[in-house]
Amino acid sequence: MNRILIAEDESRIAAFIEKGLRSHGFTTAIAGDAESATRMALGSDFDLLILDLGLPGKNGLEVLEELRGQGENFPVIILTARDDIQDKVAGFEAGADDYLTKPFRFEELLVRIKARLRNSTATQTIDEMILKMGDVVLDLRSRKVKVGTETIELPAREFTLAETFFRHPGQVMSREQLLDRVWGYDYDPGSNIVDVYVGYLRKKLGSDLIETVRGMGYRLRT
């Protein structure tokens, strides 16, 4: 499941985009100012950024240049009311992958997002699309899991949770981190939904694969 960061200070527009993306199976997070957008983009594994140029605190282009300077190469779609050709050129020169002006139709934004994610995935090698730990193998292309010789199909949330663990082997993941990455703030931080889904994975992938770290969270055994 792809994770998208929406950097937009107009709450009505941000909520509109978020609702549409979640209805299409994406996990989302919203940043309402430049500082939050930069911090969240650098601190989490987002697959794409929707970036408004008129963010409070700092110009969106400065945010983009900082992210590119830090080595973040996920696709960035600029979403702004500025339709001047000079602004578009500046956006692309700063490292943007696409540019959409307001007002816009959600269907067009969705098509552009899917195209950018498809292009991004196509540049990955086959090895990067296979995650393995012991006799458990996650295939990110087919979204299937192999445990030994048995092939298992996991529901979307379970697969995303498994992928999150497999991308951070040996790292302790707190419940809050897992809620953010897998559910995108859909649930209250006090919810036990993470524990429930970890239980599902243990039953299907092996009881010893995911270790409980008391008072801290969970980690994938290496």
Q: What are 80-134's pLDDT values in tens digits?
A: 887 777 777 888 888 888 888 888 888 889 988 988 887 765 555 555 678 888 8
152 pLDDT exceeds 70?
Answer: yes
Highest mean pLDDT among 80-94, 155-169, 203-217 belongs to 203-217
127-220 to CATH, choices 2.60.40.10, 3.30.565.10, 3.30.420.60, 1.10.10.10: 1.10.10.10
Q: Which CATH architecture has domain 3-122?
A: 3-Layer(aba) Sandwich (3.40)
**Bridging pattern class, strands 136-139 and 130-133:** antiparallel
Helices (H), 95-145: 106-122
* Residue ranges of the chain assigned to CATH 3.40.50.2300: 3-122
Tell me if the pTM is above 0.75: no
What average pLDDT does the structure give for the chain?
Answer: 85
Which residues make up the CATH 1.10.10.10 domain(s) of the chain? 127-220
Q: Residue 98 belongs to what H/E stretch?
A: strand 98-101
Say which DSSP state 49 is in: E
pLDDT category at 192 given cuts 50, 70, 90 is confident
